[in-house]
Amino acid sequence: MSVPGVGAVVAITFRSGVDDPGRFRRSRDVGPHFGLTPRKYQSGEIDVTGSISKVGDRMVRTALYEAASVMLTRTVRMSPLKSWAMAVAKRRGSKKARVALARKLGVILHRMWVDGTSFRWTNQATAIA
């Protein structure tokens, strides 16, 4: 996979964790499947948003988190994805930005797998001629 921060180990771990990309209706369902979304508790007037839910495959969650860490710290080339994560880190902190970026990486990897596309470094769509 051509996503920055994602190497062979992360790609194989993600593929083995998802197994069949058709089992998710939408790519954004990958994040909750691997426990990369906030835990919610609601009762009466109480509404608490907690830490991540940690459901699903721990290896995939760890691999995506490590890929997000590499993308934030070691990747030199800027992309809209990295600049978004840097803005989240400035607002909310480094660890929350890494979890948010890990969730987004999972969504992007799934969409790339379904479509057979490669990673785009810019926001502009490629022209089909």
Q: What is the pLDDT of residues 2-39, one digit of tens each?
A: 788 899 999 999 999 998 999 999 999 999 999 999 89
The stretch 111-129 carries a mean pLDDT of: 75
Does residue 127 carry a pLDDT above 90?
A: no
Whole-structure pTM value:
0.86
Position 76 scores a pLDDT of 83
CA 3 to CA 108: how far, in whole Å? 9
Percent of the chain with pLDDT over 90: 67
Cβ burial, residue 70 (10 Å; 0-12/13-18/19+):
middle
Domain ranges for the chain: 8-115
Q: What is the pLDDT of residues 99-108, one digit of tens each?
A: 999 999 999 9
